[in-house]
Amino acid sequence: MVIVADRLRSSLMVPGPTRPSGRDGPEPETICPVNEYRVVTAAQRPDLIDAMRALGASPWPDFLLGHDEVVNNLWDRLYELLPAYQFALADRDRDDLIAVGNCLPIRWDGDSSTLPPGGIDAVLEDGVATLEAAAAPTAVSALMIVVEPDQLGRGLSRACIEVMRGIAADHGLASLVAPVRPTEKHRYPLIPMERYASWRRADGSLFDPWLRTHERVGGFGAGVAPASMTVRGTVAEWEAWTGLRMPGTGSYVVPGALVPVEIDRERDVGLYVEPNYWMVHRTG
């Protein structure tokens, strides 16, 4: 789900911490202002939470916005339970937000092969369960980065990754993982994610801009999360969300989707299971 996007397109072992992570965790001491902007967390500025939520909701395709059951149940709790992990980049002199980022502490053993196939849904469930059980997290998972459209091209997505790494380090956690929603994958919905994520340009850098940004700041690929988000709906709902007629059973390529939507007219159900791609960063 980690994305960097405008409003019309889609674009996130080690010992446990020696101090608690969560609502009363440390302030982000290693986070530095980005150019003329400052970093603010929801813990520091709860009055900006509504603005953070609004910016975070802005770029999603209609079929994803509010239709993944796990995200619906848990997303808003991030600001209540883990405000120190939710942040924005704001204008230095005003409170105008130009980027927003969401992350949370999770339990992970540091082995790339054990990153959950459930991606965004899985880390949301694990992060909230970890906190509620008062268990010790071992890593941080990025969830989302969104940059205001008129601020794209200024390196803010890279800056937000660095902020997340700083948050992880300040909480004594040595890894940041990210179930990334590649920016350009929606243009290639028939190409398997594993193959798409391996594409490289002539200069050797990764083909996808968002994966490329992660790699340039030290991240490395760790495989596909094949079921990162799941959306179910009736055929009528899918037609409304996409603006497409779906007269028969089959696979439909729809705008903004990374893979086809599977429509079953007889059962009156449409199913979309979105893959993401894991990137891993070390905080040390």
Residue type, 42: A
Between 118 and 94, name the one with better pLDDT: 118
Domains assigned to the chain: 37-227+277-282 (3.40.630.30), 232-271 (no CATH)
Residue 197 has a pLDDT of 97
Residue 84 has a pLDDT of 94
Q: Is-contact 58 149, C-beta < 8 A?
A: no
Between 197 and 72, name the one with better pLDDT: 197
For residue range 156-167, list pLDDT tens digits in order: 888 999 999 999
Residue 179 has a pLDDT of 96
What is the pTM assigned to this prediction?
Answer: 0.84
